Amino acid sequence: MKVKVRVQLSDKERNAAFEIVKECNKVDQTYRVPYLDNNYNDDPHMPSFVLAYEDDVVVGFLSIYADEPNEAEVSLYVLPAYRCQGIGRSLLDELAKIAKRYHLTEISYVSENNFMKQHPAFIDKYIYKAEENEIWMEQLGREFSLNEKSDLKVLLADLSLVGEIAEFQAQAFDNSFILAEKYASESINDENCLLYVLKKDGQVRASCSVDISLGTNYLFGLAVQEGYQGQGLGSYLVQSILNDLYKRNGRLCQIVVEAQNVGALRLYNRLGFEPKSEIIYLKRK
């Protein structure tokens, strides 16, 4: 077995990693697809992927999502036929080297409830907080009857709107303005991402991004400006986005919602999203 470290995946490597995810999800009855790029990582030069090869074929990989200093979310996948052969251990050993070099002191390992039920031994090695769990939801593409409002307009963002978007996203996600600005800029510049904004009376008041890189529509980063929440702007934006995506590609739509966010879960249920899996963030004991 050979291990290779990458800052960014080539198209061939990304396709191989995606095929591994699909096979693992099929066998493990899981649903999540990790982000297979490094666009949002705080250090653009930090290795973000570790690949395991057998006879020039990728049989496992580890991804590092680190959009804030010292913190990282790690996803690890090994093809079922190659498990229990030390591949996962080798990938984690390489992670340890990267973590030490780039000062990643707060590492979470992303898993799913279905996987943990099938492999209960993992529970003995890790801890997690149930209140941090998230629900993976999916919806087959569909179009909604939307009562358009004259004071609301939904459109794709361009770079001239980055400042407006970052200002309220920083508040919504409790991030720095610089980090929010980076997120907005990367979403706009990425050809595999769509950043929608909602304007009310000519001013940007809400936004949401959609990743289209892996054959589905993955919605993320929904935010409504403080002072304009509870007015139905988020619901209006999401319905407008779903309508546009249905016309644009008709693909399966996916979203992750905090398990304790009852209001958001209720909203997406109304919009046809069904809960598929529970995402768990593990930390070593």
Mean pLDDT in residue range 159-178: 90
- The residues spanned by each domain of the chain are 2-104, 142-250
pLDDT at 237 over 90: yes
Residue 120 CA, distance from chain mean position: 25
For residue 100, the model assigns a pLDDT of: 97
Taking the whole predicted model, whether its pTM rises above 0.85 is answered as yes
- Segment 49-73 shows an average pLDDT of 96
What is the C-alpha to C-alpha distance for residues 175 and 178, in angstroms, rounded to an integer?
A: 8
More confident residue, 183 or 254: 254
Question: May I ask the CATH architecture of the domain 142-250?
Answer: 3-Layer(aba) Sandwich (3.40)
Band (pLDDT 50/70/90 cuts) for residue 173 is: confident
* DSSP class of 160: G
The CATH number of 2-104, from 2.40.110.20, 2.60.40.3880, 3.30.420.140, 3.40.630.30, is 3.40.630.30
Phi, psi of 52 (to 5 degrees): -105, 125
What is the predicted pLDDT for the residue at 235?
92
CA distance 221 to 224: 10
Could you tell me the pLDDT band of residue 37, with boundaries at 50, 70 and 90? very high
pLDDT of residue 115: 92
CA nearest 34: which of 98, 96, 110? 110
- Spell out the residues 6+ positions from residue 17 whose beta carbon is closer than 8 angstroms to its own: 9, 36, 49, 51, 58, 61, 63, 77
pLDDT of 242 strictly over 80? yes
Task: Name, in order, each residue with C-beta under 8 angstroms of 271's C-beta and a sequence gap of 6 or more.
Answer: 139, 144, 235, 238, 239, 242
Report the C-alpha gap between 32 and 220 in whole angstroms.
13
pLDDT per position as a tens digit, 91-117 = 999 999 999 999 999 999 999 999 998
Give the pLDDT score at 252.
Answer: 96
Query: pLDDT per residue over 113-127, tens digit each?
Result: 999 988 887 777 888
Nearest partner of 219 among 177, 186, 257, judged by Cα: 257
